């Protein structure tokens, strides 16, 4: 088993901190999307309960639009969570490479690129969902 001097351990921890900050930022986006998903689900349940008393085309359109929004939020959440997984893999990679003196950053570059791509997909889905939200609002306003 390798023994590490305190300076080596400090350097290893410093290298692993940057992805933690990245994960925290993505975590805020995940929280936001989770709240949006909860709101959409609550609204669908509310509209479904209204169907028992009145069944109109307007409410059906809203439910259909809300359900499509929920699917987009799901895509966004999955992409953001995959980005966090890649970041966790980066931390493990950096830690192991630094601890054992491996000097190859190729895997870190690939993992970081995958993390960025997943983040971009998540943000694009977020933008699409916001636009769908405006469509749902226009249905309510024009009612």
Q: For residue 20, what pLDDT is reported? A: 80
pLDDT in tens, 38-84: 999 999 898 888 877 777 777 788 888 889 999 999 999 999 999 99
User: Is the CB of residue 125 less than 8 Å from the CB of residue 32?
Assistant: no
101: left (phi over 0), alpha (psi -120 to 50) or beta: left
Q: For residue 134, how far is the Cα from the chain centroid?
A: 21
What is the rounded distance in angstroms from the CA atom of residue 48 to the CA atom of residue 87?
A: 40
**3-state class of 100 per DSSP?**
coil
What would the two tokens of residue 37 be? 């998903």
Indicate the average pLDDT of the chain.
Answer: 86
What is the rounded distance in angstroms from the CA atom of residue 112 to the CA atom of residue 132?
A: 30
User: Is the CB of residue 86 less than 8 Å from the CB of residue 115?
Assistant: yes
């Amino acid at each position: 088993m390798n023994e590490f001097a305190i300076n080596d351990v400090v350097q290893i921890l410093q290298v692993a901190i940057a992805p933690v900050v990245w994960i925290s930022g993505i975590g805020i986006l995940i929280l936001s999307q989770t709240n949006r998903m909860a709101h959409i689900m609550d609204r669908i349940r509310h509209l479904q309960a209204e169907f028992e008393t009145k069944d109109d085309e307007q409410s059906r359109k809203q439910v259909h639009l809300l359900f499509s929004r929920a699917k987009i939020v799901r895509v966004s959440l999955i992409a953001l969570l995959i980005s966090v997984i890649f970041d966790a893999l980066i931390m493990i990679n950096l830690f192991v490479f630094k601890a054992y003196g491996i000097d190859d950053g190729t895997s870190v570059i690939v993992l970081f690129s995958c993390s960025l791509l997943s983040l971009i997909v998540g943000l694009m889905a977020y933008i699409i969902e916001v636009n769908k939200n405006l469509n749902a609002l226009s249905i309510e306003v024009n009612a």
